[in-house]
Amino acid sequence: MRQDIMTDTHSPAGCPQGQGDELDKAARGRRRPVYLVLALLAVAIVLGSVFWLAQQYAAAAESRRAADRLTLYLSTLVSALEEHQHLPFILARDPLVIAGTDGSENGELNRRLESFTDEAGVDAIYLMDQQGLTIAASNWSEPKTFLGNNYGFRPYFKAALTGLRGVFFAIGATTQEPGYFIAEPVYGGPGRIAGVIALKVDLTPLTRAWREGGETLLAVDPRGIAILASNPDWTYRTLSPLSDDVRQEIAAERQFGNEPLEPLDIAGGPGEVTIDGVRYLQSVGPVGHLGWKLHYLTPFDRINGQARQAVLLTAAVLLLASVAFLLVRTQRIRTALFASQQQRRGLQQLNRRLEAEIDERRAAERRLELAQKELQKVSKMAALGQLSASVTHELGQPIAAMRNYLATAELPNSGIDGEARELVDHLNGIAARMEHITGQLRFFARAEPKKLDRFDLRDVVAPVLELMEPDLAAAGVEWSQEVDDDPLWVFGDALRIEQVLVNLIRNALDAVSDTESPQIRLRLTRDGEMARLSITDNGTGMDGEVLARAEDPFFTTKPSGTGMGLGLSISASILKEHDGRMEIANTPEVGAVFTITLPVCDETGDTQQVGDASL
Ligand code: ADP
């Protein structure tokens, strides 16, 4: 029953629970690697998407940042280029400078130019005559002085000679150091250019600052030559191979000294370039009026680094979420398990209650069955009582008359003797048996309640024995008895208890009739609150059916006319009236033992009113 309740709810149709579980488990086992692969695939897709999105986002952010940085570096470069552009203009109007154009002794001018150089923080200031010969220079005292050198080939000189301001970037022809040159014409008189004053600005601090700032910048002139670069290897390299014309032009101006002007290992479009195998995000801006372009390069590594960080962060979040999910799931499973255990316990309790109820119901059914049997017995006995009453009544008179006639016939002067007397004796026997039968029937007929008195059960034994003595002797039975020394007080009708005892001894006599050395034993003892009286014989004993049915009214194994099958039934009824009972059993060896038990009452016990004595 318990199993039904426990298993029916979850068992798959047509499949026993245990087997269903095994199948489920096996199926789950097979599906597990698939789930794992799917989960890993999902994680890979999520992380890939995150990487891609983060890369896009970082690229957009970096390109915004690059635009800002480019603007900043453009302004610093332009300001570095323009910072000193007015100085030559002013110097060109200095009387000492103008006076110096005639090539006279310029010792004072040299010193003045030297002090201006120091003050302005430029590389050098120098004055050239109309042919480009340097006639005064701030570095007059240095070994690599410009003095005496002719720079007439430089475009800035040529421009100044035409009255314009000349600007030019070149590697110094004398010092071999790069610089930005600014030149202004020096007028000796109205409209007469007597010389050119020029200054050289060192731009290397700028590139150093780029490098130290961790930035990647490239300033390229209109011909695609990298003039300034944060990476020294890129300086004087070209974005594309130079044509021969351009190379000749450069050689004429001696702009880049002996630099080979090799092309850079560069590829890519305007937004993205790869230089020397490294990918960069590129932002380009024009540098003032020079036609230069400044390239601000952001290594893709930085963008990828940010994307990688985002992926790591996402992975960490996913991991944390998975851990949290697993924790919550574990908690839920634990709770569900607890709940199911509770439910199981509840079901077990319910099962136990059901089992108890079923047991109770079975016991009740058994009681009912017994009660029904009892009722049948009672109704049989009641019917028997009525029948007995009328039979004893109807037969009583004729038997009494017969007895009288027979008594008269037995008188000495009746004249009956010989065979007739034998017949009278025979009839007397028949009448006695008839009386015996009606006597038994009368027992059933008696309906009035009986007053029971307290009596010593031991007192019943003697009269019964006296009554049975002749029969016992006739049957050659070895009688033995064991009676308690103390009184055994019981309530009841002593005569009826005697009747029970007579019944039992008579049955025992019948049972031992074919036994070689018949024995009957009476035992009367006290067992706690009960008086126990047993009659044991070494007779036939009883088989199973006889044992079960011995108490049934009219059940007998004796030949017709010998037994009516009422003795035990009556005895049981009598004992029941006395709150006693009878146990019937076979002895371990041969024969049967009938034990009656009656409640013992104390000596001061009152008499007791009992019900219908005849049932
Ligand atoms: P009856 O003696 O008229 O047959 P009882 O009710 O006294 O009716 O006994 C019923 C049956 O129980 C007997 O027929 C007999 O088979 C069996 N029985 C009773 N007492 C004994 C006994 N001591 N040994 C063996 N069988 C017995």
What is the pLDDT at residue 20?
54
Residues 525 and 597: beta-carbon distance below 8 Å = no
Q: Residue 171: CB within 6 Å of ligand 1?
A: no
- Residue 580 or 382, more confident: 580
78-82, 198-202, 597-601, 603-607: least confident range = 603-607
Closest CA to 250 of 223, 274, 276: 223
Strand partners, 583: 595
Token pair 């999910």 in the structure block, residue: 325
What are the percentages of helix, strand and coil residues in the chain, rounded to 5?
50, 20, 25
Closest CA to 215 of 314, 296, 271: 296
What is the pLDDT at residue 404?
87
What is the pLDDT at residue 614?
36
What is the pLDDT at residue 374?
73
Q: How confident is the model at residue 4 (pLDDT cuts 50, 70, 90)?
A: very low
Nearest alpha carbon, ligand 1 atom 21: 507
Read out DSSP for 333-387? HHHHHHHHHHHHHHHHHHHHHHHHHHHHHHHHHHHHHHHHHHHHHHHHHHHHHHH
Classified as helix, coil or strand, 163 is coil
**Crossing angle of helices 567-577/300-410, nearest 10°?**
110
Q: Residue 542: CB within 6 Å of ligand 1?
A: yes
What is the pLDDT at residue 21?
58
Residues 179 and 172: beta-carbon distance below 8 Å = yes
Cα distance between residue 467 and residue 154, in whole Å:
172
Q: How remote is the CA of residue 532 from the centroid of ligand 1, in Å?
A: 20
Q: How confident is the model at residue 613 (pLDDT cuts 50, 70, 90)?
A: very low
With the most atoms of ligand 1 within 8 angstroms of its CB, the residue from 510, 571, 593 to mutate is: 510
Per-residue pLDDT at 193 exceeds 90: yes
Q: Residue 507: CB within 6 Å of ligand 1?
A: yes
- What's the chain's average pLDDT? 85
- Token pair of 130 as six digits: 């109309």
- Token pair of 546 as six digits: 């006889």
What is the pLDDT at residue 473?
93
With the most atoms of ligand 1 within 8 angstroms of its CB, the residue from 507, 522, 571 to mutate is: 507
Q: Residue 135: CB within 6 Å of ligand 1?
A: no
Q: How confident is the model at residue 432 (pLDDT cuts 50, 70, 90)?
A: confident
Q: How confident is the model at residue 443 (pLDDT cuts 50, 70, 90)?
A: low
- Over residues 112-139, the pLDDT tens digits come to 999 999 998 899 999 999 999 999 999 9
What is the pLDDT at residue 13?
41
Q: Residue 139: CB within 6 Å of ligand 1?
A: no
Question: What mean pLDDT is predicted for residues 398-414?
Answer: 84
Per-residue pLDDT at 53 exceeds 80: yes
What is the pLDDT at residue 2?
39
Q: How remote is the CA of residue 545 from the centroid of ligand 1, in Å?
A: 12
Cα distance between residue 319 and residue 450, in whole Å:
95
User: According to the per-residue pLDDT averaged within each range, which of 5-19, 301-315, 420-434, 543-557 is highest?
Assistant: 543-557
Per-residue pLDDT at 293 exceeds 80: yes
What is the pLDDT at residue 582?
95
Give the CA radius of gyration of the chain: 71
Cα distance between residue 518 and residue 471, in whole Å:
13
Q: How far is CA 440 from CA 384, 551, 567, 569, in A?
A: 11, 16, 9, 12
Per-residue pLDDT at 303 exceeds 90: no
**Ligand 1 atom nearest to 567, measured from its CA:** 7
Cβ–Cβ contacts within 10 Å for residue 69, how many? 17
Cα distance between residue 461 and residue 464, in whole Å:
5
Q: Residue 511: CB within 6 Å of ligand 1?
A: yes
13-22, 48-57, 218-227, 416-425: least confident range = 13-22
Residues 145 and 50: beta-carbon distance below 8 Å = no
Per-residue pLDDT at 364 exceeds 50: yes
Closest CA to 556 of 548, 544, 547, 564: 564
Cα distance between residue 383 and residue 614, in whole Å:
11
DSSP 164: S
100 Cβ neighbours under 8 A, 6+ residues apart: 106, 109, 127, 135, 136, 195
Q: Residue 555: CB within 6 Å of ligand 1?
A: yes
Question: What mean pLDDT is predicted for residues 9-31?
Answer: 55
- Residue 7 or 456, more confident: 456
Q: Residue 568: CB within 6 Å of ligand 1?
A: yes
Q: How confident is the model at residue 305 (pLDDT cuts 50, 70, 90)?
A: confident
121-125, 537-541, 558-562: least confident range = 558-562
What is the pLDDT at residue 186?
95
Q: How confident is the model at residue 15 (pLDDT cuts 50, 70, 90)?
A: very low
Per-residue pLDDT at 154 exceeds 50: yes
- Token pair of 41 as six digits: 């695939």
What is the pLDDT at residue 111?
92
Percent of the chain past pLDDT 70, that is, above it, reads 90
What is the pLDDT at residue 173?
76
Q: How remote is the CA of residue 319 from the centroid of ligand 1, in Å?
A: 91
Question: What mean pLDDT is predicted for residues 556-580?
Answer: 84
Q: How confident is the model at residue 606 (pLDDT cuts 50, 70, 90)?
A: very low
Question: What mean pLDDT is predicted for residues 536-560?
Answer: 90
Q: What is the distance between the terminal CA atoms of the chain, rounded to a whole angstrom?
A: 44
**Which spans in 83-181 are helix H?**
86-91, 95-100, 107-120, 155-161
Cα distance between residue 594 and residue 590, in whole Å:
13
Strand partners, 520: 479, 537
Per-residue pLDDT at 23 exceeds 70: no
Cα distance between residue 40 and residue 46, in whole Å:
10
Q: What contacts 24+ positions apart, CB below 8 Å, involve 108-111?
A: 109/136, 110/136, 110/137, 110/138, 110/140, 110/141, 110/147
DSSP 516: S
What is the pLDDT at residue 574?
87
- Over residues 242-267, the pLDDT tens digits come to 999 999 988 888 888 888 999 999 99
Q: Residue 567: CB within 6 Å of ligand 1?
A: yes
What is the pLDDT at residue 201?
92
What is the pLDDT at residue 29?
67
